[in-house]
Every structure is written in C-alpha cells, then in structure tokens.
Amino acid sequence: MNRFYIIIKFLLDKSIPLKEKWWVIIPLIYIVSPADLIPAPVLGFSIIDDAVVLAFLLSIASGKTKKYYNEHGAEYKGKEKEDIKNVVEDVEYEIKKDED
C-alpha cells in the first residue's frame, strides 16, 4: 500500500517532468482500458497482455519512484529530512565513567 501511495504522490508532484510520468501513466491507462493487443475471443489469452503490461508498469513505476522515494522518503517514514542526513552509522565508541 505504501508503494501505491508513493506512485500517487509521484504522479501529483509538480516538480517531476511530465515525460517521466508518462512511463507510469500510459501503461496504467492501457490496463484499465478495454482495448487489448490480443483480442478477448482468443481463448483467454487477452489476459496475458494485460499481465505483461502490469508487470512492465510495476517495473517502470518501481524504478521511477525509487529515486523519488529516496529523495522524499522521510515524509513517508514520519521523520524529518534533516534527521536522516544527521545520522552517523558504523562508528566505534567507548563509554567512560566520570569520576566525581
């Protein structure tokens, strides 16, 4: 469900050029439209082209939204972007007792 939300945000984001969005919009329109590359009377094979286009859509949408998610991921995780930038990982530390 999170990916669906990201795809919707990706499509509604005005900072992303329309040519990037078309790779997600066109396959989506094809899936919901009644037109098929393989006609329905051909023994149920018309479902195959929809499945192939759906797999293509998921692949393209995943690639296109991965960059978007990495840039805007903090919004979906409930953290501030700055908090993610200030995280320090893979460090060694030692705790010393204070002598009063």
DSSP secondary structure letters along 65-77: HHHHHHHHHHHHH
Task: Using pLDDT thresholds of 50, 70 and 90, give the confidence band for residue 100.
Answer: low
Per-residue pLDDT for 80 more than 50? no
Task: Using pLDDT thresholds of 50, 70 and 90, give the confidence band for residue 29.
Answer: confident
pLDDT at 52: 80
Q: Is the Cβ–Cβ distance between 84 and 74 less than 8 Å?
A: yes
Please give the average per-residue pLDDT across 73-92, as a whole number.
60
pLDDT at 79: 47
Determine the Cα–Cα distance for residues 74 and 80; give it in Å rounded to an integer: 6
Please give the average per-residue pLDDT across 41-51, as a whole number.
70
Q: What's this model's pTM, rounded to 2 decimal places? A: 0.48
Q: Is the Cβ–Cβ distance between 68 and 15 less than 8 Å?
A: no
pLDDT at 86: 66
Q: Is the Cβ–Cβ distance between 64 and 24 less than 8 Å?
A: yes
Q: Is the Cβ–Cβ distance between 69 and 6 less than 8 Å?
A: yes
Domain boundaries, the chain: 2-79
